[in-house]
Structures are given as structure tokens and as C-alpha cells.
Structure 1
Amino acid sequence: MKTAKSVASLPPIDERIRGAVLDVTARLKDQPGALLPILHGVQDSLGYVPDEAIPLIARELNLSRADVHGVVTFYHYFRTHPAGQRTIYLCRAESCQSMGATKLEQHVKQRLGVDFHQTTADGTFTLEPVYCLGNCACSPAMMVDDELKGRMTPEGFDAWLLSEAK
């Protein structure tokens, strides 16, 4: 049984976020298992799933805020903060690990000054882990936005980063 929806019970929310969430939920909320498609739709629309959107999504689906928050934080794909201009994905699967991905990961984190799920201070790069890029024959693999790079080394990363600065 659905309860009455009260806008007054929601915390303040930016109108751009409210509009995006209501648009996505209106289109998808009647689908079975609508929460994941809605979260994907919100992230596609806004670039992330803002914390302030969670109560509105919960209300629209008649779920608890904890239910929505739990799904957002369980899946590594969802971001709760805007991403940088470019997203760097480092593969953490076994093949890449066996070929030096741990050393590469440490180097990239140190070079950018961020950890996974963080964005550089200048807003240029967001660093994300991924658990297979399907490029095992060319491990370790990295992807920048949609450009796959294989046999990446710390030196190769530095050369790529230098080329990006030009």
C-alpha cells in the first residue's frame, strides 16, 4: 500500500536535481526493479547521483532512504559527487594484477594525488577502479573515458599525462 507523498517532508533540493530525478522516475518507476534503472538514469542525466536526490528517489518509489542509499553505495559504478572532466579507469582484475597493476595503481594515485572515487583538485581527472576491461592480453590495462590503453606502466602513464597537459 502506497503512502501519501508529502513534498514538505523532503529536505531542500536544487531545482535542476529535482527536475532530473522526477523526469527519470516518472518514466521508469512502474518497471519491475525500477531502482537500478532510475539510478542509472539520474547518473546519466546529472553525471552522478547527488546525496540530496536520495530522499526524492525513495519517496517516488515508496522505499526507505536507507534502501536507496544502500544500493548507491553498494555498486561502485554510482558516483555521489560530480566526476572530473576525464575519468581514468584502472583495471584491478587478476590478469592485470599479475602484470603490475598494483605498482601502476600506487603510481597513478600518487601522481594525481587522489584515491579511487576521487577527483583531482583542479577537477580534471576522476580515478575509478574497474574489475575487468577485457584487455587481459595487454595487461595492465587502463581506460580514459572510452579510450582503452594496454600494457600501461608508470612511465607510460607519466608520458600520457604529459601529453594531456599540452
Structure 2
Amino acid sequence: MTSIADIVAEHAHREGPLLPILHDVQKAFGHVSEDAMRDIAQALNLTRAEVYGVVSFYHDFRKEAEARPILKLCRAEACKARGVDALVPIAENQSRVKLEAVYCLWRGCRCGCFCRGGRGSRTRVQLGHALDGTVGRH
């Protein structure tokens, strides 16, 4: 299993390593714990407040693990124009996944969300498969 120290060491040579470290910690552990923030702050010679400020500012970072898979549903204007609002009640009326709104500004979206804005947009059937447990953890 990857440790916080391993992740920090992997990015220590970079200019501005905090965000890449936080993303990798989030990916590895499903959240950025208080202990992780303390260790990262110490390793980067930052205050815990500085690290906490970044974690609390960006909505993709979690301070506690989410037990359910997270389904990111794009709510940007292009997706609204293509009917994403019809998918929201389907996703909200179940408890198997946690629904999160994202705004991906469709440009060949690669964020992994359910996006209705352009080429490759996902369908109600694909949303159904995701709600049945085929969606990955973030």
C-alpha cells in the first residue's frame, strides 16, 4: 500500500507539489485525512492551515472517506440543453451511489462524469448501469 511519505517523495522535486500530492492522496485513500494534512504540511514546510485551506477550497477533496461510489453528473449549460435534468431524479432516488454535480465546460470532457453536452455523451441506460454498481470509486 502506498504511504503519504511515498506520495510526497514522488512529487517533492516539482515546483508547487501540493495539489499533485493531494490528488494522489485522495486517489490512494479516498480522502485527505487530518493526519495526512499534518504529514504533508510538515514534509512541504507549510502550515497545517495552508494545507487545510487548499483541501477545503477544492470540492474534489474529501476530509472523510465516502463509503459509496461517487457519480459525477455534469450540470453545465451544454448538458442542461441536452436534457441532463431528466437524469437527476433517477440518480437522486437511490442510495447506492453519492451524486455530485460537476460543471465540466464540455470540450471533449475527460473528467469521468456523466456528460450530455457533446460527442460521446452518456445515456439514461448508461446511467442505469452506473447506478447498478458499475461506476468506479473516486
Q: TM-score, normalised by structure 1?
A: 0.59
Shift of 1:39: 0.6
**Would you say the 8 A contact 1:135–1:150 is kept in 2?**
no
Shift of 1:54: 1.0
The structure that is strand-richer by fraction is 1
Of structures 1 and 2, the one scoring higher in RCO (CA 8 A, sep 6+) is 2
The equivalent position to 2:75 in structure 1, one of 82, 88, 92, is 92
Shift of 1:84: 3.9
Which residue identity lines up with residue 164 of structure 1 in the other structure? D
- 1:90-145 superposed Cα distances (whole Å, 9 cap, x missing partner): 00111112344345335533x13xxxxxxx5xxx4232222128489xxxx727xx
Report what 1:160 is aligned to: 128
Q: Which ranges of structure 1 fall in alignment gaps of 5 or more residues?
A: 1-15, 113-119
The equivalent position to 1:125 in structure 2, one of 81, 93, 97, is 97
Q: TM-score, normalised by structure 2?
A: 0.68
**Would you say the 8 A contact 1:20–1:46 is kept in 2?**
no
- 1:1-41 superposed Cα distances (whole Å, 9 cap, x missing partner): xxxxxxxxxxxxxxx8xx71111112222321010111112
d(CA) in 2 for partners of 1:163 and 1:27? 35
Q: Which ranges of structure 2 fall in alignment gaps of 5 or more residues?
A: 134-138
Which residue identity lines up with residue 132 of structure 2 in the other structure? E
Q: Does 1:67 align with 2:56?
A: no
Shift of 1:161: 6.4
d(CA) in 1 for partners of 2:36 and 2:76? 32
Count of matched residue pairs: 125
Identity %: 35
d(CA) in 1 for partners of 2:40 and 2:131? 41
Report what 1:58 is aligned to: 41
Give 1:9-158 correspondences, 5 Å limit. Answer: 20-102=3-85, 104-109=87-92, 111-112=93-94, 120=95, 124-132=96-104, 134=106, 142=114, 150-152=122-124
Which residue identity lines up with residue 128 of structure 1 in the other structure? E
Aligned-pair Cα RMSD in Å = 3.3
Which residue identity lines up with residue 87 of structure 1 in the other structure? I
d(CA) in 2 for partners of 1:76 and 1:92? 15
Q: Mark the CA change 1:135 to 1:101 in structure 2 (over 3 Å): closer, same or farther.
A: farther
